[in-house]
Amino acid sequence: MNRKAVYPGTFDPVTCGHLDIIERAAKIYDRVFVSVAHSAEKTPLFSVKERVLMIREATSHLKNVEVEDFEGLVIDYARKKKTRVIIRGLRMISDFEYEFQMALTNRKLADDIETIFMMTRENYAYLSSKLIKEAAVLGADVTGFVPDIVAKRLNKKLSKLQK
């Protein structure tokens, strides 16, 4: 039975909060697909390829985690991976309603697939990729907010942008 789950997102970039969800999911599912969405309204800071690579490196200690990108609807992707479970992290109430809308829309489109919500560690509950990028642009040291590989690449990317 349902031993596989999909954890989709934009991950631009992956944070310690995302990583915490991945680790928790890896403990309760046999296989977890971390699935990086192509489609983002605005231009992402990191390319899909970069985002996949950073998550791969940050999750290299988790044997049952696979990272890849996907296009189109997440429910179609989940079906392709033969999984019935989509995982989403819940941090704050501001997430909550958007996640609800998404999950109910997905359920209407595909009633055989279930969205389950997991909670980040409370230390990471306030992290958001957006805020981290803003702080980094203003010169903040974001070590501890993101995996080391991300902090390194973020600095490199920003020093290039600022030249």
Stretch that binds a second copy, among 8-16, 50-58, 68-76, 147-155 (CB under 8 A): 68-76
Window 30-49: residues binding a second copy (CB under 8 A): 30, 39
Report the residue number, 57 or 99, with the smaller CB distance to a second copy. Answer: 99
3-state helix, strand, coil in the chain (%, to 5): 45, 20, 35
Residue 103 burial (10 A CB sphere; 0-12, 13-18, 19+): middle
Report the residue number, 23 or 57, with the smaller CB distance to a second copy. Answer: 23
**Which residue numbers are catalytic?**
18, 42, 91, 129
Window 86-105: residues binding a second copy (CB under 8 A): 90, 92-94, 96-98, 100-105
Peptide bond into 13 cis (omega under 30): yes
In the complex, what is the shortest distance from the CB of residue 57 to a second copy, in angstroms, rounded to a whole number? 23
What is the C-alpha to C-alpha distance for residues 112 and 85, in angstroms, rounded to an integer? 9
What is the C-alpha to C-alpha distance for residues 117 and 21, in angstroms, rounded to an integer? 10
Task: Kindly state whether residue 148 participates in binding a second copy, applying the rule CB under 8 A.
Answer: no
